[in-house]
Chains A and B, each alone.
Chain A
Amino acid sequence: MTNASLDEAVAAGWTRRRGAAVSLVQQFALIPVIVVLCVVGAFVSDSFLTLTNFTNIGQQVSALGVVVVAETLILVTGSMDLSLQSNYGLSAMVAAWLVAPAAQFGLGTELNPLLGLVAGIVVGGLIGAFNGTLIVKAKINGFILTLAMYILLAGVQTGIVSGHTIYHLPKAFIALGAFYFADIPVSVWVAALVFVVAGLYMRYTRTGRALYAIGGNREAARAAGITVDRIRIGVFVVGGALAALGGLMEAGRVVAVTANQGTNLIFTVFAAAVIGGVSLNGGRGNMLGAATGVVLLGLVQNILALAQVQSYWIDAVDGAVILVALALSRVVGGERSTE
Chain B
Amino acid sequence: MDPSYVIEGVGLSRSFGRTRALSDVSLAIEPGECLGLVGRNGAGKSTVVSILSGLRRPDTGVVRLGGEPAPPVGDPAAWRRRVACVYQHSMLVPTLTVAENMFLNRQPRRRGGVLRWGAMRTEAARVLRDWGVDVPVTAPAGAISVEQRQIVEIARALSTGTRCLILDEPTAALERAGVRRLFSRLRPLLDQGVGILYISHHLEEVYEICDRVTVLRDGRHVVTAPVADIRQDELVTAMVGPEDPLAGTATTIEATPTADPDAEPVLSVHDLRATDARGTVAGVSLAVRPGECVGLLGLAGSGTTTLADAVAGLVRPTGGTLVVSGLPLPPGRPDVALRRGVGYVPEDRHDRGYVAQLGVGDNITMTVADRLTAYGVLSPRRQRGAARALAARFGVVSAGTGQAVGELSGGNQQKVVVGRALARDPEVVVAVAPTQGVDVASKRSLLGALDAARAGGAGVLLVSDDLADLALANRIVVLVRGRMFAEFTEPPWDREALIAASEGLGGPDEDGTDEERAQQ
Interface residues of A (CB under 8 A from B): 8-9, 12, 15-16, 19-20, 203-206, 209-210, 212-213, 215-217, 219-226, 279, 283-284
Do the beta carbons of A225 and B76 come within 8 Å of each other? yes
Do the beta carbons of B77 and A225 come within 8 Å of each other? yes
Do the beta carbons of B134 and A216 come within 8 Å of each other? no
Q: With A and B bound together, what is the CA distance between A267 and B94 in angstroms? A: 28
Do the beta carbons of A223 and B143 come within 8 Å of each other? no
Residues of A contacting B80 in the complex (Cβ-Cβ under 8 angstroms): 223-225
Q: Which residue of the partner chain B has the closest CB to A208? A: B115
Residues of A contacting B263 in the complex (Cβ-Cβ under 8 angstroms): none
**Interface 1/0s, chain B 413-436, versus A by CB < 8 A?**
000000000000000000000000
Do the beta carbons of A283 and B115 come within 8 Å of each other? no
Q: Is B91 an interface residue (CB 8 A)?
A: yes
Residues of B contacting A205 in the complex (Cβ-Cβ under 8 angstroms): 113-115
Report which of A16, A203, A215 forms a contact with B95, defined as CB distance below 8 A: A215
In residues 63-101 of chain B, which contact A (Cβ within 8 Å)? 75-77, 80, 85, 87, 89-96, 100
**Are A9 and B134 also in contact (CB < 8 A) when A212-B95, A213-B96, A215-B95 are?**
yes
**Are A284 and B95 also in contact (CB < 8 A) when A209-B100, A223-B76 are?**
yes
Q: Is B259 an interface residue (CB 8 A)?
A: no
Q: Which residue of the partner chain A has the closest CB to B110? A: A204
Q: Which residue of the partner chain A has the closest CB to B139? A: A19
Do the beta carbons of B113 and A206 come within 8 Å of each other? yes
Subset of 26 A-B contacts with CB under 8 Å? A9-B134, A12-B135, A15-B136, A15-B143, A15-B144, A16-B136, A19-B136, A19-B143, A204-B115, A206-B115, A209-B96, A209-B100, A212-B95, A213-B104, A215-B95, A217-B91, A219-B89, A221-B105, A222-B76, A223-B76, A223-B91, A224-B106, A225-B77, A279-B95, A283-B93, A283-B94
Q: Which residue of the partner chain A has the closest CB to B138? A: A19
Q: Is B20 an interface residue (CB 8 A)?
A: no
Report which of A20, A206, A222, A225 forms a contact with B138, defined as CB distance below 8 A: A20
Residues of B contacting A279 in the complex (Cβ-Cβ under 8 angstroms): 95
Residues of A contacting B90 in the complex (Cβ-Cβ under 8 angstroms): 217, 220
Do the beta carbons of B143 and A226 come within 8 Å of each other? no
Do the beta carbons of A223 and B55 come within 8 Å of each other? yes
Question: Whole-angstrom distance from the CB of A302 to the nearest CB of chain B?
Answer: 34
Q: Which residue of the partner chain A has the closest CB to B116? A: A204
Q: With A and B bound together, what is the CA distance between A232 and B6 in angstroms? A: 35
**Interface 1/0s, chain B 238-254, versus A by CB < 8 A?**
00000000000000000
Q: Which of A209, A212, A284 has the most CB of B within 10 A?
A: A209
Q: With A and B bound together, what is the CA distance between A205 and B109 in angstroms? A: 8
Residues of A contacting B256 in the complex (Cβ-Cβ under 8 angstroms): none
Residues of B contacting A209 in the complex (Cβ-Cβ under 8 angstroms): 96, 100, 104-105, 107, 115
Q: Which of A8, A16, A225 has the most CB of B within 10 A?
A: A225
Residues of A contacting B257 in the complex (Cβ-Cβ under 8 angstroms): none
Question: Whole-angstrom distance from the CB of B204 to the nearest CB of chain A?
Answer: 25
Q: Is B140 an interface residue (CB 8 A)?
A: yes
